[in-house]
Amino acid sequence: MSKIKIIAATGCPTGIAHTFMAAEALSIAAKKLGVEIKVETHGQVGIENALSKEDIRQADGVIIAADKDVQAERFIGKPVVDVSVARGIREAEKLIQTIIDGKATVYKASKKQDDSSTDEEQSTSGSSIGRSIYKHLMNGVSHMLPFVVGGGVLIAISFLFGIYSADPTHESYNEFAAMLKDVGGIGFALMVPILAAYIAESIAKRPGLVVGFIGGMIAYNGGAGFLGGIVAGFLAGYIILLLGKLLQGLPKSLDGLKAIFLYPVIGIFLTGFIMTYLVNPMTAVNEAMMNFLSGFQDANPIVLGLIVGAMSAFDMGGPINKAAYVTGTALLAEGNFYFMAGVSAACITPPLVTAFAVLFFKKYFNQSERNAGLVNFILGATHITEGAIPFAAKNPIVVLPILMIASAISAILTYLFGVQVPAPHGGFLVLPVVTGAVKWLIAILAGSLVGAFLYGMAKKREANKKQEEQTIDAA
């Protein structure tokens, strides 16, 4: 009997850690279960180990472990298990077993696919409307992040020449600093249009891209910011889907005309018309949210740090973590570098907690945990929160509260110290452009060491309890 062949596609919004951790988990589980697997990854550098048409044809089943668009329409007619990337890490064996047992749902389109590929990605039975919306949003965030990181860091570097070094009328003016700030500003300016464009692209594929971009530009120019970009992206995507339904009666020979003329012209007009009237109320909402968060940050940094820290460590890269992260990214675009400082500190802390715990309480961890813990010094230092997931997965009831407490301490101290971080990723690599870098390090180390002590003591109690049980059994 030939081996069962499974294909998989993994992808997370940042395309840095979850994507490849899920791919590795699925590969290990497949080897254990005696199944042949090929995993396609959708990381920040693009698609790697791409699935060919022949791979898809020969596959006995498909696993989609992603929080972004991975072109799932390729798998129509195949048994598909569609889950979040986090479940791909935690439940790899279970997902593969579902396909082996023949319990996966056959992936179907709701209507005939046309050449313009305007159908929205269809959900399997395990998917929900909420998860679909989340995936569309995260597809936009994934494509937006490099613009924010690149633009933010360049702007921050320009400040090293002086706060007013980009101002031609100021005595500290520096031409190179002004160039850095201008180029970085362009990256920031493109953030909202790119966000909207790729939300729309996730919903309506390529025809949604241009319409979403225009809607995002209207949101940006009107001051509606990040929230306006989200509204524009979803509006553009669903307008293109609606147009696809309305124009499906046209002859097949006009498909090219639809893609190159009707979709962009009618789509841009409708999205532009609606966004013109939405942009003012969205701007008011955007400004109100920014003012509320900024005021909260100044009035009660302890409560804010507690909330941000708990959110960031609760699911380490999942929807709750991403809510805090995306808010920080949005505030960065508005020139608020304080909020992201707390978010970054809270995201860096969990892997460092496990690393210090392994270092100081070595005898209570097995060899594989020790190896993973030491690697987490690197992962934590580079803002990869997911390094703590294997530790939390073994005993979430005990470990998650400890990580949340540790992250909250780091975030609270960061806000109390008034640290500013201009980039949404990079960890300690962006220390040269952090305002209050030493204080930020102290805040992160304080939270990490407190968490490490609590985690180490928990492991010690667990070991002592097992030893007592073994003594009783022996007696």
| Positions marked catalytic | 12
Which residues lie below 8 Å from residue 215, measured CB to CB, with a gap of 6+?
196, 200, 232, 233, 235, 236, 271, 272, 275
CA–CA distance, 227 with 216 (Å, rounded to integer):
10
Q: In 3-state terms, what secondary structure has residue 355?
A: helix
- The SS3 assignment for 84 reads coil
Instruction: Tokens 């940042």: give the residue.
Output: 14
Which residue, among 68, 42, 334, 16, has the nearest Cα to 192 in the 3D structure? 334
How many residues does the structure list for the chain?
475
Alpha carbon distance 271, 266 (integer Å)? 8
Fill in the amino acid letter for 426: G
**Burial readout 96-121 (b: 16 or more C-beta within 10 A, e: otherwise):** bebbbeeebeebeeeeeebebebbbb
Helical spans, DSSP H, in 247-318:
255-257, 263-299, 301-314
Structure tokens given for 306: 């507690």
Which of these, 198, 228, 72, 208, lies nearest to 137 by C-alpha position? 198
Q: Which residue has the tokens 């190159």?
A: 260
C-alpha gyration radius of the chain? 24
Beta strand 61-66 with 79-83 is parallel
Q: How far apart are CA 60 and CA 57, in angstroms?
A: 8
Residues 139, 195: Cα–Cα separation, whole Å: 8
Q: Which residue type, as a one-letter code, is found at position 244?
A: G
Residue with tokens 């290990």: 28
Residue 467 neighbours by CB distance under 10 Å = 10
Handedness of CA 453, 456, 458, 461 (dihedral sign): negative
Cα gap 68→62, rounded to integer Å: 16
User: What is the distance, to the nearest Å, from the Cα of residue 125 to the centroid of all Cα atoms in its chain?
Assistant: 24
Cβ partners under 8 Å of residue 46, min gap 6: none
Q: Give the other-Cβ count within 10 Å of 462's Cβ.
A: 13
The strand pairing partners of 105, in sequence order, are 80
